[in-house]
Chains A and B, each alone.
Chain A
Amino acid sequence: AQKITQTQPGMFVQEKEAVTLDCTYDTSDQSYGLFWYKQPSSGEMIFLIYQGSYDEQNATEGRYSLNFQKARKSANLVISASQLGDSAMYFCAMRPPGSARQLTFGSGTQLTVLP
């Protein structure tokens, strides 16, 4: 069984600064995918970034990058140059191998960007 752990229930960051949101995972599978989603207060889930377990380079997508350390089983999200609109709940999720491909989610981190 897969498990995702997000140990930071809440984080604060000053506007224009960078912030790292932690995510550790537990799995016995060799092949898996890691995803980060953003959930604003309105409720919709917005896909941010993906990292495959066999990807040698850390994923990047605009201001989002993923600090992937496979041996430590961590996949931390880095947001550079924070904006007020980045204030939201952030979820780390894992997809196991196989045809089902449902996601296992962590409990989330509430990020607040301060002006």
Chain B
Amino acid sequence: DGGITQSPKYLFRKEGQNVTLSCEQNLNHDAMYWYRQDPGQGLRLIYYSQIVNDFQKGDIAEGYSVSREKKESFPLTVTSAQKNPTAFYLCASSDSGSNQPQHFGDGTRLSIL
């Protein structure tokens, strides 16, 4: 089945450590997105990419980095510069039409040890 796969489901980070969240899609979508969700809140955009080898900062990009070397993959690195990384991270992709919804993965819960 086509969809978006995020891994791992749960991730723990030690102080000063960088961690990478994986996001893979087999929907052949051009655009991919990373969102952060804090408890009881909506989603906030971290980074997005419309095409391979190109990406733009969202509203809360500080302390995060991404790459888009392949159309199917859009990994997110949470760096040690992100002082409050504990959150639920959701990856999404969408087709290029304006009425096309974003399809989401199941998310990764990141916690600080």
Contacts and interface: CB of A to CB of B under 8 A. Distances in A.
Contacts of A50: 99, 101
Interface string B26-58: 000001010100001111110010100000101
B42 A105 contact: yes
B99 A47 contact: no
Interface stretch (B17-25, B62-70, B103-111): B103-111
A102 B106 contact: no
Contacts of B101: 35, 47, 50
B98 A45 contact: no
B43 A100 contact: no
Interface stretch (A63-71, A80-88, A91-99): A91-99
Contacts of B104: 37, 44-46
B105 A102 contact: no
B84 to A, nearest CB: 19
What interface size band does chain A fall in?
20 to 34
Interface string A28-41: 00010101010000
Interface residues of B, number: 28
Given A33-B99, A91-B42, A108-B41, A100 B56 contact: yes
Nearest to A55: B99
Interface string A1-25: 0001000000000000000000000
A105 B98 contact: no
B50 A100 contact: yes
Contacts of B92: 45
A102 B90 contact: no
Contacts of A106: 42
Nearest to B43: A105
Interface of B: 31, 33, 35, 40-45, 48, 50, 56, 58, 88, 90, 92, 94, 96, 98-99, 101-107, 109
